[in-house]
């Protein structure tokens, strides 16, 4: 599972450019430069490297050239004492905020379908095996450039904004979602769930480099009355398996002992589908030490306020 996914793809870099970020290449990774309230900084999500010292030296030089206070990375490496020690030795320190699904659930789609089901929690398996009790519940995959997909993406963005207001989270803006469609093209797939013709929910999947990632979702409040979420996930799993995708990443759960984490409400549901995978958590490489100390303190205060 230590492989590149869409976070280090040309499509991801183009998406961030379309959204107004500056993107540069450094140490064979895409570095996204952000002007944020927490200071001008750089991010490398899903970072891939073989020599941590050479990697740190190159990204430090790039960040200095772009006037960044720090570089935040989330390596595409399974967490281990040796990986954490090497980061510390290279000058990195644990970041006060996470970066893109460092704790997640990953399904090995190379397994037979019966084995995938067997790996699920009993309740999850039960819901999937009894989906035939709801013959009017249908799930359809909509490719980015299908004839009617433009309006469907608009509807998805509007429904996600409504979902965010109801569930109290901050969603991507509508323009960000539409830019994602432009950047990823056929690699961005919307799954639409309907019951008797009424749209109940959407899931946005990004399939890239042998991995499919469950990136965003939206649902009507009435979706809770039916096993909509299970129907969508089971259709995605079967479709991605049929397409030869190796892994399906549910892309983000709360870490252990974090009941107020932004992913906490989804964690029980996602953990029902398979194996928990913990990547090396986000780490920061300070570039401007004094400025970084101030920004780190600000981020820690925000984290405490939000209960993360």
* pLDDT for the residue numbered 26: 98
d(CA 146, CA 223): 25
For residue 141, is it left (φ>0), alpha (ψ between -120 and 50) or beta? beta
pLDDT tens digit sequence for 194-238: 999 999 999 999 998 899 999 999 999 999 999 999 999 999 999
90: which residues sit within 8 A by CB, 6+ positions away?
Answer: 52, 53, 55, 56, 285
Closest by CA position to 25, among listed 75, 67, 59, 57 = 59
- What is the reported pTM? 0.92
* pLDDT for the residue numbered 117: 97
Closest by CA position to 163, among listed 235, 101, 222 = 222
DSSP states of 131-147 as a string? GGG-TTEEEEEEETTST
Domains of the chain: 6-98+280-306 (3.40.630.30), 103-277 (3.40.630.30)
**Cα dihedral value 136, 139, 142, 147, nearest 10:** -10
N residues, the chain: 308
Q: How many CB atoms lie within 10 A of CB 202?
A: 24
189: which residues sit within 8 A by CB, 6+ positions away?
Answer: 141, 142, 143, 144, 204, 205, 206, 207
* pLDDT for the residue numbered 239: 98
233: which residues sit within 8 A by CB, 6+ positions away?
Answer: 203, 214, 250, 273
d(CA 46, CA 218): 25
* pLDDT for the residue numbered 305: 64
Cα 221 from chain centroid (whole Å):
23
What letter would DSSP give residue 129?
A: H
Phi, psi of 29 (to 5 degrees): -130, 155
Segments of the chain scoring below 70 in pLDDT: 1-3, 38, 147, 300-308
């Amino acid at each position: 599972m230590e492989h590149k996914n869409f976070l280090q793809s040309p499509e991801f870099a183009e998406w961030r450019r379309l959204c107004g970020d500056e993107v540069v290449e450094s140490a064979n990774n895409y570095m996204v430069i952000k002007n944020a309230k927490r200071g001008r900084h750089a991010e490398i999500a899903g970072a891939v490297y073989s020599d941590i010292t050479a990697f740190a030296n190159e990204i430090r030089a790039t960040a200095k050239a772009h006037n960044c206070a720090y570089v935040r990375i989330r390596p595409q490496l399974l967490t281990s004492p040796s990986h954490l020690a090497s980061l510390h030795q290279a000058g990195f320190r644990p970041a006060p905020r996470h970066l893109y699904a460092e704790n997640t659930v990953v399904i090995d789609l190379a397994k037979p379908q019966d084995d995938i089901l067997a790996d699920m929690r009993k309740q999850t398996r039960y819901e999937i095996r009894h989906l035939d009790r709801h013959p009017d519940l249908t799930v359809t995959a909509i490719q980015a450039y299908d004839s009617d997909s433009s309006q469907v993406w608009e509807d998805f963005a509007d429904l996600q904004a409504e979902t965010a207001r109801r569930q109290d989270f901050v969603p991507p803006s509508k323009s960000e979602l539409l830019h994602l469609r432009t950047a990823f093209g056929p690699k961005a797939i919307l799954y639409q769930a309907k019951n008797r013709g009424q749209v109940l929910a959407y899931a946005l999947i990004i399939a890239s480099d042998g991995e499919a990632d469950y990136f965003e979702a939206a649902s009507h409040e009435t979706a809770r009355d039916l096993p909509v979420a299970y129907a969508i996930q089971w259709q995605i799993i079967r479709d991605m398996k049929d397409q030869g995708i190796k892994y399906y990443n549910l892309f983000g759960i709360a870490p252990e002992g974090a009941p107020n984490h932004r992913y906490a409400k989804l964690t029980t549901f996602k953990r029902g589908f398979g194996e928990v995978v913990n990547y090396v958590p986000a780490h920061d490489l300070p570039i401007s030490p004094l400025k970084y100390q101030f920004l780190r303190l600000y981020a820690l205060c925000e984290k405490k306020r939000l209960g993360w």
